Amino acid sequence: MNYQTQFVKIKNLPPADSFLSCSESAYLQTLRAEKRKGDWLGGRFALKVLLARQSGLLPVCSLPTEGEENQKIEMSAAALAVLKQKDIVKLPSGAPQVFIGSVPDARSISISHSNGWAVAAVSAPQTMLGIDLEKIEKRSRVWAEEFFLDEEKGPATDEHLTKVWTQKEAVVKLLGRGLSLNTREIILVDNEVRLTGRALEVWQSLQSPHIVLNSNRFDNDFIFTTAFAVAPTAVKFAKI
């Protein structure tokens, strides 16, 4: 699967006004809850860094590496200026879209956050991408009954249910319809995706791409899942 990811510890972000565009700074002021602000900022920062690095536009900076997650993120003024040029807006579906000036970035993107971490993923144009990060926690029986079919519950351990939940969320993001989709219409058994109802209709409208899931442990206590697909039109184009 051809995508890249960037994780950041939210508490270590540089000041918001050092990397947000003007419109992003204005939107930040509409958020009231501190946790919501932190999650939103973490996702934007991770995505901007990843996009800039992919484009070869990001000067050398000292983002903490694995094992250094508690260090503050320090970046040069030149690097932060590059990040400010990217404007990440929220589409009506709830999905993020990147603009550089008035020009939309064609790459596929996705953002997630959980318990102090934020992560962004980017893949090439004409691909589809969705990610989800969740902490492994004790879940109530009511929660499991509401969101999972019996065939999805498997051993019903906290780790298994968290994994299946991240897979459902990642597929919802890949399909690009946000909260309009019911997660019970996305059925996950043994990492295979089966769709029903509205989710199936959306998938078919996208020319029924083959969705591949990749789920792994992150930082010991989290599950991180990526859902990835190549747009069928891109496959056909490549064969010509």
The pLDDT of residue 102: 87
* Section 180-198 average pLDDT: 91
Q: Which domain holds residue 25?
A: 1-123
Question: Is the pLDDT assigned to residue 210 strictly greater than 90?
Answer: yes
Cα–Cα distance measured from residue 58 to residue 30, given in angstroms and rounded to the nearest whole number: 29
Least confidently predicted of 60-69, 131-140, 146-155, 162-171: 60-69
Q: Of 107, 123, 139, which residue constitutes the final position of a domain?
A: 123
Q: Of 68, 102, 123, which residue constitutes the final position of a domain?
A: 123
Yes or no: say if 111 and 96 are a contact pair by the CB < 8 Å rule.
yes
Question: Is the pLDDT assigned to residue 182 strictly greater than 90?
Answer: no
The pLDDT of residue 73: 86
HEC states along the chain?
Answer: CCEEEEEEEHHHCCCHHHCCCHHHHHHHCCCCCHHHHHHHHHHHHHHHHHHHHHCCCCCCCECCCCCCCCCCCECCHHHHHHHHCEEEEECCCCCEEEEECCEECCCEEEEEEECCEEEEEEECCCEEEEEEEEECCCCCHHHHHHHCCHHHHCCCCHHHHHHHHHHHHHHHHHHCCHHHCCHHHEEEECCEEEECHHHHHHHHHCCCCCCEEEEEEECCCEEEEEEEEECHHHHHHHHC
* Section 172-195 average pLDDT: 89
Q: Taking Cα atoms as reference points, which of 64, 78, 121, 75 lies closest to residue 98?
A: 121
> What's 81's domain CATH number?
3.90.470.20
- 167 with 239, same domain? yes
- 116 with 90, same domain? yes
Q: Of 92, 123, 154, which residue constitutes the final position of a domain?
A: 123
Looking at every residue in the chain, the average pLDDT score rounds to 89
* Section 180-184 average pLDDT: 84
- 102 with 166, same domain? no
* Section 106-122 average pLDDT: 96
